[in-house]
Amino acid sequence: MNLEQALSDYIASAIETLYGSNPQPVKLERTNPDFAGDYTFVIFPLLRLSKSTPEATANAIGVSLKENAPIVSDFNVVKGFLNIVLKTDIYADFLKDNWNNASFGQTSLGKGKKVMVEYSSPNTNKPLHLGHVRNNLLGVSVANLYKAAGYDVVMANLVNDRGIHICKSMIAWQKFGNGETPESTGMKGDHLVGKYYVIFENALREETLPSIESALSGKWAPEGDIAQTKYAAIYGQLQQATEEKQISKLKDDIKELVRNQSALMRETQQMLRDWEAGVPEVISLWQTMNAWVYSGFEKTYARLGVSFDQYYYESNTYKLGKDVVDEGLQSGVFYRKADGSVWIDLRKDGLDEKLVLRGDGTSVYITQDIGTADLKFQQHHVDQSIYVVGNEQDYHFKVLFLIMKKLGRPFADGMHHLSYGMVDLPSGKMKSREGTVVDADDLIQEMVDEAKAKTIELGKTDGLADAELANLYESLGLSALKFFILKVDPRKRMLFNPQESIDFQGDTGPFVQYTYARIQSILRSASADASSASWQQGDINDQLQPLEIEAIQVLYHYPEEVNKACGESSPAVITQYCIDLSRTFNRFYNECHIMREPDPIIKNTRLKLAHFTAHTLKHALNLLGIQVVERM
């Protein structure tokens, strides 16, 4: 039974009987924990019908419910709020029906619908870092939420495997690598390639430092009329600028102009042109170094528990979209400027003009995204397409989605950007060029080491073999990492603190894991105890205690929380649920005897409640990509 819907119907009937009108829909809230009740109905909107005070109106409806609604046992009124208490046998029946229901937590919200969740999107010039960790954990968890809500889900990864940043690592390896390989160095392939990306940036910084100093003082003479004109314009603006933010941006523009004029960058730009022209030796080096990176990525993905159903590669998709641009030109969605470039004017939509094709006919980034969006739909016919990408790309996706709507794509309304905030550390912001990013592999190992130290300190290793301990440390470390990152609303910037995430007493993954392991210990004791060995077949007590009811109420709402988390694309809803359920069960466990309960029916009821709680915690943690720990 859907209690909320049934109660809403009874309230609607009472209102119609009392006041001759039925203002649908009736909205219910869960009762504040400080008051007695299961659901609360706000009376104020009814006062125009009742022509009475809030208290009198609430009392009249409460009396009607108590007399006519078989699920209601009592009510109380707090000003204009009617708090409704349901009969305890409802929760006993719910426990009977669901305590061993293997599919509990699965819903039908998305039945018959298909969704693609695209996440990770790494660059093949460096290893995965902390920002990628948040991206991947969000992507996997959101995909799991959609699966639990009944959707057919495609998990996709668009790999950024081409472009100037990839060529930087290639040039640096050619110049400074001396033939190093992952095998000869013992380094993971992605780490080795990332090392040369940093080497490139250091070499470029050293080469350009004198020119940057000259350029910022107005004494630089770049080669070529275009560069000279651009430099003069930017430097002129710098001389006139007064705002600190504007000055900083103009200085960065000058630095970038100097960088692009350097010999090292020119070599890199030539390599990119050679790659696009298919020069064999460049393609061969690109394939070799990308293979190193892919091998490294797979090891990191495996340890994080990340996987994909569909891979897209920018090297295959970067030319997509040109046909769509031609289509848009013919329909008037796009227009061509005198230099041959193609644009769309979105100023009436509150955005700006956007380039979709260069004058020389080459693609820009959004051209690829337009074509890839079409390709995704052609291949998978998804109802929704979710892009898990950081919030620095908010504007890009507003433009992309609006373009697809103007092109009349039937899937445009289903395109959604899951925009997440950046991750900071207590030590500050990460920077790829300086090599100060927090490497994902190092972070994972740090979390495992922290879990080991904390577990040993708390004495939670007794009776476990070495292999079990290694698995325990790995599981606890990863659950701490995942839970801490996912408990923050995706849209918020977050500060990640490894030490705080491993706390066994806080709102953390280890705390939830410990609750689950505690229940498993109870159930193992029950199975070994002759007096309770048949608990799985025993009866359930209809006269439940308040703490038992509280625990069952939390369990009852789990499918609603799954649907809510799915609708909001927010795993944070599930992390909070895990915390609430764990706290509720621990209160119940600390005040209600289980194994020492003499009454066999009450004991059986509590064992079933424990089993049901463990199943739900396991299901919820699995949605977060977290594997449970059976023993601690």
At 410-439, the pLDDT tens digits run 999 999 999 999 888 776 444 444 445 788
- Cα gap 582→512, rounded to integer Å: 6
The answer to whether 6 and 71 have CB atoms below 8 angstroms apart is yes
2-12 average pLDDT score? 91
**Predicted pLDDT at 23:** 65
The strand pairing partners of 353, in sequence order, are 345
**Predicted pLDDT at 433:** 44
329-340 average pLDDT score? 96
**Predicted pLDDT at 435:** 45
- Cα gap 69→164, rounded to integer Å: 69
Q: How confident is the model over 27-68, as pLDDT tens digits?
A: 999 999 889 999 999 999 899 899 999 999 999 999 999 999
Q: How confident is the model over 488-522, as pLDDT tens digits?
A: 999 999 988 877 888 778 899 999 999 999 999 99
The chain-wide mean pLDDT, for the chain, equals: 93
> What is the percent of the chain with per-residue pLDDT over 90, rounded to a whole number?
81
**Predicted pLDDT at 533:** 65
**Predicted pLDDT at 1:** 61
589-599 average pLDDT score? 93
Q: What token pair was written down for 188?
A: 């993971």
* Domains of the chain and CATH, by start: 3-86 (3.30.1360.70), 164-277 (no CATH), 440-623 (1.10.730.10)
Does residue 408 register a pLDDT over 90? Answer: yes
Does residue 337 register a pLDDT over 80? Answer: yes
C-alpha distances in Å from residue 195, one per residue of 37, 171, 289, 433, 592: 61, 12, 12, 11, 57
Q: Which pLDDT band holds residue 69 (cuts at 50, 70, 90)? A: very high
The answer to whether 220 and 233 have CB atoms below 8 angstroms apart is no
Contacts of 399 (CB under 8 A, 6+ apart): 346, 351, 354, 366
Q: How confident is the model over 143-178, as pLDDT tens digits?
A: 999 999 999 999 999 999 999 999 999 999 999 999
**Predicted pLDDT at 34:** 87
The answer to whether 430 and 122 have CB atoms below 8 angstroms apart is no
Q: How confident is the model over 253-280, as pLDDT tens digits?
A: 999 999 999 999 999 999 999 999 999 9
Nearest CA-CA partner of 473 in 458, 486, 487: 458
Residue of 236 and 538 predicted with greater confidence: 236
564-568 average pLDDT score? 97
**3-state class of 28 per DSSP?**
strand
The answer to whether 28 and 64 have CB atoms below 8 angstroms apart is no
Q: Which pLDDT band holds residue 107 (cuts at 50, 70, 90)? A: very high
> What is the percent of the chain with per-residue pLDDT over 70, rounded to a whole number?
97
Residue of 360 and 347 predicted with greater confidence: 347
